[in-house]
Structure 1
């Protein structure tokens, strides 16, 4: 599966060869603020945890994985868009409800790149047989990501408590139902 280039961006699936790009992105505390409370990822964490998790859900035929996002004019890496079944790492994974997420470098913030990239990826994923919903989650105070969800046509579903190794935080779930043609 391929994601067509947009007016400003191009895409390719990421893998273990992209550890340095992932590390560079996750090295900015501001990028990580709404994910890990600003704790940056070490290269060891990228290689030993992040890459194996990525490999577990990557499926090129279905478009699952991390879609590297580059500015076409300069071929500059600015972030990624994640695609995987909702709840993939739980006992309740849902292969018809596809999770979409994103992470972008600060240099790209406020320019519409996240919305443009997420829309391009979503349009391809939504056309797949068996996909009935597209969902996204974010911490409640991550207004930027919530705006991207709304631009994708997603609706607020619920607020819940996200629990991780650092404690509990309020989070939100947004979803878009996919019309089956």
Structure 2
């Protein structure tokens, strides 16, 4: 699946050559504060956990994977949007309910890039399969991400402990039904 450019941004499905980009993004404690309390991701975790997991859910035909987000005007890589079935790593993945997630360099915060990218990918995936539902999770104190979820039309479903190989965290789940 090809994702066309949005107004200010272009998109490319990421692969193992993006390891350094992933590492650099996760070195800002303010970025990571909203993910895991501020702990930087180690290079070993990028190579041994993040990249292998990304390869497991990547499906270019369906648009699943991590999409690198680049500013068209400057060609600066500013973040990523994740697309994968909710619960992909569980015993009961939700194939028709796609989880959207995002992480952006702090220098791009407050400019609408994450909202533009998340909505653009959601819309592109909806055109491909109108029966899809979309959801997102965020640390319950991450007001900016929750604002994006609400802006997309998602509504609160629940708060729960999200299990992850890099650490468990309390999150809120928001959903946008098809």
Count, aligned residues: 178
Q: 1:8 to 1:30 in 2, by over 3 A?
A: same
Would you say the 8 A contact 1:6–1:120 is kept in 2?
yes
**SS of residue in 1 equivalent to 2:175:** strand
Distance 1:56 1:40 in 2: 23
Task: Give the whole-Å Cα distance in 1 for the aligned partners of 2:94 and 2:78.
Answer: 29
CA distance in 1, matches of 2:3, 2:69: 10
TM-score normalised per structure 1: 0.92
Aligned to 1:161: 161
Which residue of the partner structure matches residue 68 of structure 1?
Answer: 68
* Counterpart contact for 2:36–2:169, Cα < 8 Å: no
**8 Å contact 2:36–2:167 — kept in the other structure?**
no
Query: Would you say the 8 A contact 1:81–1:103 is kept in 2?
Result: yes
Where does 1:118-133 land on structure 2 (aligned, <5 Å)?
A: 118-129=118-129, 131-133=131-133
Q: Distance in 2 between matches of 1:167 and 1:58?
A: 22
Instruction: Calculate the aligned-residue CA RMSD, in Å.
Output: 1.7
Structure 2: distance between partners of 1:41 and 1:166: 9
Alignment match, 1:49: 49
- Partner Cα separation in structure 2 for residue 168 and residue 89 of structure 1: 14
Alignment gaps of 5+ in structure 2: none
Give the SS at the match of 2:45. helix
Q: Is the 8 A contact 2:83 2:99 kept in 1?
A: yes
- Write the distance in 2 (CA, Å) between the matches of 1:136 and 1:130: 18
- Normalising by structure 2, report the TM-score: 0.94
3-state SS of 1:53 partner: helix
Q: Any gaps of 5 or more consecutive residues in structure 1?
A: none
Partner of 1:87: 87
Distance change (3 Å), C-alpha of 1:4 and 1:51: same
Check conservation: 1:98, 1:131, Cα contact below 8 A.
no
Q: Which range moves more in the overlay, 153-162 or 21-30?
A: 153-162
Distance in 2 of aligned mates of 1:61 and 1:152: 24
Structure 1 residues 167 and 49, CA gap change in structure 2 (3 angstroms)? closer
Which residue of structure 2 lines up, in the alignment, with residue 151 of structure 1? 151
